[in-house]
Structure 1
């Protein structure tokens, strides 16, 4: 049997079997990370040229087909997971006219509030943190009316705020859809942020705020993030899929980056490489304020730069 016949036969059989099992939910297949196995295909393919034995080439062809099938299935599942944010798509025909409603969510500031836990759980859209607000938080959501659930828990010195997108039917007409969220925050309290966003355009200027922790879980996103020096120690964690990421950190702060992003392009301006995945600014040890950034990305473009002037 020729190696190419074995390859195509096993590729189609394996891929078809995986899709069939998934469609009928016979087994809960969570293989989104298996697409990272694709370098094995290159290794085995190269070895097949080196070893000049027919039965070995047939064996390699079979293994390559299976690994490639798992990689293709995993990549597809990973891509679909990006958009799995409780969103149903509905395509409109005829005389449908797109219109966008504006909904405002406001929590007034109280001087006794020292810390705020702020969480966003949403899908596709545009998300911006803009200029500071005299309120504790002000949110303007432009899109479907009342598309978000706004919850708050207030205690003596702290507040917890959750902004969650509802299970939404998105009407698409000639490619038009709007889900735009603009946020203003108060500069007085200390902020702990946890944002779970999907295929999003994200523009966060956090330089005026006291940020203790920032966690970002994003899919196929475009992220622009500006950090400030208003708090002694800021912890930033970013888990990204196929994203474009730009982070600005102030010159006055020491910054450390730990990255797990072997398949991503990385540019860390004016950072010193300590070892393979660890980078620091020259003033890291002496700076009064420090920023710690952990990056876990799949196939992304990552740029971290230092700034002195306005962005």
Structure 2
């Protein structure tokens, strides 16, 4: 591709972006995103050198590659620049039907920080705010007899925007029902405080997450399954509760022995587990990452 075509196309794109920024159609921050992608110029230059021996055919192929790359880069920059996508907070205010005794909560998030606790006021199943970049999150709640199912999902697509912090979800659940909680998370930080809740099942599937889960002396047994691809997991548990952890993989980095657990093969149990009234039983799969247990009293 000749330098005349290259620079002509570059001026058209730059002028179009400047005009769009001046008219408020795109954020001026788009230039910062474009600047971080400058190594692509070296890549395209290398491609043109490799294809030059093909003559006219090589020039056509190079031109097509440059055009497609430029379109993709501009689209990416416009979308991911602050102000280039819709951002906001969805208010969560889900009422609690009087007959509901058990609730299944399913949370699916991408690059979102989650702060969950049991502080919803009387008459509300869930309150809080769900931050987002791009399409707003999806909230569904179904009630059947004495059971309810609450689903909170990030909208499909990227949730991170260059120059802006990750969205934050603050979720308060009502402490009255008995819960099954299922969390599927991408690369994010999760602070899940269940100390005021009654939870009989807890499931977590995290890809590259930093997870802290705090449990209370809830008066009933709990079973849990935790799969952590990478990151860190901290379980904060009252000492009055017996804890059993079955390792579904080698827990390469853990403090279970220091926390007073006894090991038998892939099974770790806290001291006096069999004599405890309340028992928490977890299956943990965390090949890459750390697993910690902290006693809260």
TM-score under structure 1 length normalisation: 0.65
Counterpart of 1:112?
99
2:148 and 2:296 mapped to 1: Cα distance?
Answer: 32
Q: Structure 1 residues 105, 94: closer, same or farther in 2, change over 3 A?
A: closer
How many residue pairs are counted as aligned between the two chains?
219
The alignment's C-alpha RMSD in Å is 2.3
Query: Contact 2:111 / 2:160 at 8 angstroms: preserved in 1?
Result: no
Counterpart of 1:129?
116
Residues 257-301 of structure 1, C-alpha deviation per residue, up to 9 Å, x if partnerless?
111332620111433323121111122111111111111112111
Q: Secondary structure at the match of 2:76?
A: strand
2:106 and 2:92 mapped to 1: Cα distance?
Answer: 14
2:210 and 2:185 mapped to 1: Cα distance?
Answer: 11
Report the Cα offset of residue 146 of structure 1. Answer: 5.4
Report the Cα offset of residue 166 of structure 1. Answer: 1.2
Residues 197-249 of structure 1, C-alpha deviation per residue, up to 9 Å, x if partnerless?
11010000101100000000001110011111214111111001111111111
2:190 and 2:76 mapped to 1: Cα distance?
Answer: 25
2:126 and 2:272 mapped to 1: Cα distance?
Answer: 34
Whether 1:189 and 2:140 are equivalent positions in the alignment is no
Counterpart of 1:161?
150
Whether 1:91 and 2:80 are equivalent positions in the alignment is no
Whether 1:221 and 2:201 are equivalent positions in the alignment is no
TM-score under structure 2 length normalisation: 0.68
Counterpart of 1:144?
133
Report the Cα offset of residue 133 of structure 1. Answer: 0.6
1:100 and 1:217 mapped to 2: Cα distance?
Answer: 26
Q: Structure 1 residues 95, 172: closer, same or farther in 2, change over 3 A?
A: closer
Residues 146-187 of structure 1, C-alpha deviation per residue, up to 9 Å, x if partnerless?
52111111011010111111113546334x243211100111
Stretches of structure 2 that go unaligned for 5 or more consecutive residues are: 1-74
Q: Structure 1 residues 166, 189: closer, same or farther in 2, change over 3 A?
A: same
Stretches of structure 1 that go unaligned for 5 or more consecutive residues are: 1-88
Question: Which shifted more, 117-126 or 263-272?
Answer: 263-272
Q: Structure 1 residues 156, 93: closer, same or farther in 2, change over 3 A?
A: closer
Report the Cα offset of residue 121 of structure 1. Answer: 1.5
Q: Secondary structure at the match of 1:285?
A: helix
Whether 1:241 and 2:229 are equivalent positions in the alignment is yes
Q: Structure 1 residues 103, 287: closer, same or farther in 2, change over 3 A?
A: same
1:120 and 1:91 mapped to 2: Cα distance?
Answer: 29
Which of 70, 76, 89 matches 1:102?
89
Bigger radius of gyration among the two: 2
Q: Secondary structure at the match of 1:132?
A: coil
Counterpart of 1:273?
262
1:7-156 matches, within 5 Å, as: 90-92=76-78, 96-97=82-83, 100-134=87-121, 135-144=124-133, 147-156=136-145
Whether 1:287 and 2:276 are equivalent positions in the alignment is yes
Q: Secondary structure at the match of 1:91?
A: helix
Query: Contact 2:104 / 2:179 at 8 angstroms: preserved in 1?
Result: yes
Report the Cα offset of residue 106 of structure 1. Answer: 1.8
Q: Structure 1 residues 191, 236: closer, same or farther in 2, change over 3 A?
A: same
Counterpart of 1:19?
none
Query: Contact 2:251 / 2:290 at 8 angstroms: preserved in 1?
Result: no
